[in-house]
Every structure is written in C-alpha cells, then in structure tokens.
Amino acid sequence: MTNQAPQSPAYPLPDGQAISTAAHEALNAHFAAVARLGRVMAVVTAAAVRDILTDNDHDAPFDAAHAELVEAADGSLHGTGRYWTADGTETSFTEAIGEHEAAMGVFGMNEWTPYLGYENQDVWKPLVTKLPDRNGQPAYRLDLAKAAALPLD
C-alpha cells in the first residue's frame, strides 16, 4: 500500500480567532473562579473557627484572632487547632473546648481548608504570616478578621 496525500482535512475546526477568543474567555473564567474559591474558603475557615469555639452559636463571643494552617505536600492548607487570641496568647481548641470536640472541629474545618492552596495563594497569602515549619510542613498564621472580611463574590 502506498501513502497518498490527503484529499481533505481530517476534521473541521472553528475559525482560529474563535478558538483564541474561547480559550481566553475560558481561562479568565477559570482564574476568576479560583480566586472566588480562595475568598470563600478563607471566609469559611474563619467561620469554622468561630463555630468550633462557640458550638455553632453565631452570636456567642469567642476569642480567636488568628489560626494556624499548615501546608501539605500538594500545596493545600489544613487547620491544626492551634490559635491566638487578640492579645497574642497562643492556645488550642483542645484547651478551649476539650480534646474530643476539638478533634471533631478540626476534622470538620479540614473539609474546607484544603481548597486553599497553590492555585489561589494570591488570595490567602496576604492574610497570613509565615511561621516556623511545623513537623516539616510550612506553617502560617491566618488573620481571621481579614479572612472574614473578604467578599464572597
């Protein structure tokens, strides 16, 4: 069998300008969605700390000003249960509410915090202070008031 030159294109494609426009629109929508996800998950993280410390009583006072997050190998963040009060006192959910409740709270919080990661670090990095590594993982101190103030849209 001999090779013959194709008689027509193997498949039709949209106009090159249409492909370029669609690609740029899709990328812009993706980056906007990633930034929004970062904002929303930062707010969710602040809400989770409040809920853990108040047993979901949204009107109850609580003393957390910052919370520790560690970065996993995949770049996602996870809460540890360590936090700081407004006067700078370092404490933990365990000390505040007990071991079982704290463990359950951190477990629930970490349903959401891993959505903070490499892709949306432009959102959360301005909200954190770098801490010394914790067990070999990068650690950060999240400003909860700044996180809570982010727009959801």
Residue 140 clears pLDDT 80, i.e. is over it: yes
Task: Give 60's pLDDT tier (boundaries 50, 70, 90).
Answer: very high
Instruction: Find the helix or strand (DSSP H, E) in which 71 lies.
Output: strand 64-71
Q: In what order do the strands lie in the sheet with 64-71?
A: 90-92, 77-85, 64-71, 137-143, 128-134
Residue 1 clears pLDDT 80, i.e. is over it: no
- The Cα–Cα gap between 27 and 50 comes to 35
CA 72-74-75 angle, to 5 degrees, is 70
Question: Stretch 121-130: mean pLDDT, rounded?
Answer: 98
Residue 86 clears pLDDT 70, i.e. is over it: yes
Does the global pTM surpass 0.85?
A: yes
Per-chain mean pLDDT for the chain? 96
Q: pLDDT digits over 4-34, tens only?
A: 777 888 899 999 999 999 999 999 999 999 9
Question: Stretch 121-129: mean pLDDT, rounded?
Answer: 98
